[in-house]
Amino acid sequence: MHTDTERCVRAVRSKDARFDGWFFTAVLTTRIYCRPSCPVVPPKPQNMVFYPSAAACQQAGFRACKRCRPDTSPGSPEWNARADTVARAMRLIRDGVVDREGVPGLAARLGYSTRQIERQLRAELGAGPLALARAQRAQTARVLIETTDLPFADVAFAAGFSSVRTFNETVREVFALAPGELRSRAARSAGPAGRTTVPGTISLRLPYRTPLHPSNLFGHLAATAVPGVEEWLPRGSGSADGGPTGAYRRTLRLPCGHGIATLAPRDGHIACRLALTDPRDLTHAISRCRWLLDLDADPVAVDEQLRTDPLLAPLVDAAPGRRVPRTVDPAEFAVRAVLGQQVSTAAARTHAGRLAASHGTPVDDPEGGLTRLFPAPEALAGLDPDTLALPRARRATLTTLTAALVDGTVTLGPDSDWDEARARLRALPGFGPWTVEAVAMRGLGDPDAFLPTDLGVRKAAAALGLPATPAALTARAAAWRPWRAYAVQYLWATDNHPINRLPD
């Protein structure tokens, strides 16, 4: 979009927050870059230039605006809707792969040379992988500076910087403030009461594009929560996390340790609190939480497309902004999808809870009832299928899946090619269309995944007058592409099922 100057100027003049993250405005006279919705008086059009990423702005010598804080914009929805090399690279960079494995590690995961990755990212985003990772490190550093009391040396290494000197230089260059000045400004903004962060945790806000309808998003996560791994903290529970609506909590398996995330819907943002055993995991934890809640989606574009169907339009108008509830770990969701085949939501929770209790890694949670990490595929590889209270065929499906995940026959992650992952899952015994598409929708994040054989979808289709058979429904749903996964959320919402409402 940044190449359409006229459209960008209109968005900046109208301060349209829908375009935050789509592009960034750099002002030639002040050498500052902003998000489109920046509250200051817009500069003259001849003084504006537009970039596709914050990293490109920083690389061109612009510093972040102190008013609109463009580094905290929602991520570009481009990386949600695409599965090409650039989109997969951006998802991996967002997960911190460059900080942990370098550019060669990023290229190896994608199956390209470092030169090819560099060329493709520069062509589309105006910056290479190192510059993109540097911009993300600066953002992570800012979160740690403003929300914790960690010494700056610890902040530097936790954010992924190789030295304290590089950390200081980058923070000064990007934000035009020293780390100490950033912390002081944050303390003044918090007021006399100061920060209310629980010791040992990091509290932050996760922005999103409005509208957002939280009922099906958090309702689905709460209704399918695995005991010990996930929980719903009700409102009025005596904890600030519960707030006026309640909060969803779950354990996280992270590259350097583990953590616990507490997520609660608020007006204009998601309140997020992270308890991490290693602060180096902050970037990855934030990325996984945003992915889980589909916070980088463009709901206006999705809903406009679905409204073109006269049978879906009333559902969209009644509750716009539905998101697709995803997962923090695609491999975990694949296992849970197998456990949920042809059983109720409650039965699937029971099966998953037993598996977690028997094979999950224990964790401490002083604030709630979380006790386990969901077992990794390696922990399930040697599982005795006779110990599972499942039909024989489903036991075979589960053990085959875990073996394929361990040996690399099936790879599920932010770098996955959606079509290839589908093909490999279909080759496993017991993986029919419903399971494959469920993993594609919630595990891999394909916005066009579709479940025409799902019971809830078929019931909703019959009630709305849509075609009843899977083949006919799939043909009708071609008009909903590339947002069929969101259409599924609107169809599911027609039923009075716990996944469609926040717990009381």
Query: How far is it, in rounded angstroms, from Cα 160 to Cα 130?
Result: 12
Angle at 324 between CA 364 and CA 212, to 5 degrees: 95
Catalytic residue among 8, 34, 57, 272: 34
Q: Is 34 a catalytic residue?
A: yes
Q: What SS3 state is found at 344?
A: coil
Catalytic residue among 95, 296, 329, 454: 454
* H or E element that contains 33: strand 32-34
Query: How far is it, in rounded angstroms, from Cα 354 to Cα 207?
Result: 35
| Crossing angle (nearest 10°) for helices 85-94 and 114-125 | 90
Q: Is 68 a catalytic residue?
A: no
Query: How far is it, in rounded angstroms, from Cα 465 to Cα 461?
Result: 6
Output the CA torsion sign for 211, 93, 405, 359.
negative
DSSP E strand stretches across 341-457: 361-362, 372-373
Burial string for 231-268 (b: 16+ CB within 10 Å, else e) reads bbbbbeeeeebbbebbbbbbbbbbbbebbbbbbbbeee
Residues 6+ apart with CB under 8 A from 128: 118, 121, 122
* Residues forming the active site: 34, 454
